Amino acid sequence: QVQLVESGGGLVQPGDSLQLSCAATGRSFSTYTMGWFRQAPGKEREFLAGINTWGKRSTYYADSIYGRFVIFRDNDKNTVYLYMDKLKLADTATYYCAADESGGSQTRNVGDYKYWGQGTQVTVSS
């Protein structure tokens, strides 16, 4: 069983940056593919970024946030991060981290992630 706990959300202004953290329990964290998603009210959960354990910790992103968001992990701390830059009003959502215990190389679908955190709210407002 894996438990994920997100933190770092809050209220920011357009153009600000913010870093989210997701702390995981379990001894196999380094073998999991980790992902970040978000969900705005009335919308489907949206894939943002993933990081696997293949080769040199390959990362992959959704086109919608490419170049503004960066995912990285610290296996010693069992934590995955999402750094978000140049935030926009449209980035307002609840942000979730998720774990794919199969260690997929490019896991993007909600259904392919087995474990989920409770979410952290990010509100971008002027």
> pLDDT, tens digit, for every residue of 62-74?
999 999 999 999 9
**Token pair recorded at residue 38:** 């978000």
The Cα 106–Cα 36 span in angstroms is 13
Q: pLDDT at residue 104 above 90?
A: no
Q: Which of 79, 36, 91 is nearest to 61 (CA)?
A: 36
Residue burial 5-32, b: 16+ Cβ < 10 Å; e: rest = ebebbeebeeeeebebbbbbebeebeeb
pLDDT digits (tens, 9 = 90+) for 37-50: 999 999 999 999 99
Q: Residue 93 — very low, low, confident or very high, per pLDDT cuts 50/70/90?
A: very high
Break the chain down into helix, strand, coil percent, rounded to 5: 10, 45, 45
Q: pLDDT at residue 117 above 90?
A: yes
Q: Tokens 């153009």 — which residue? A: 15
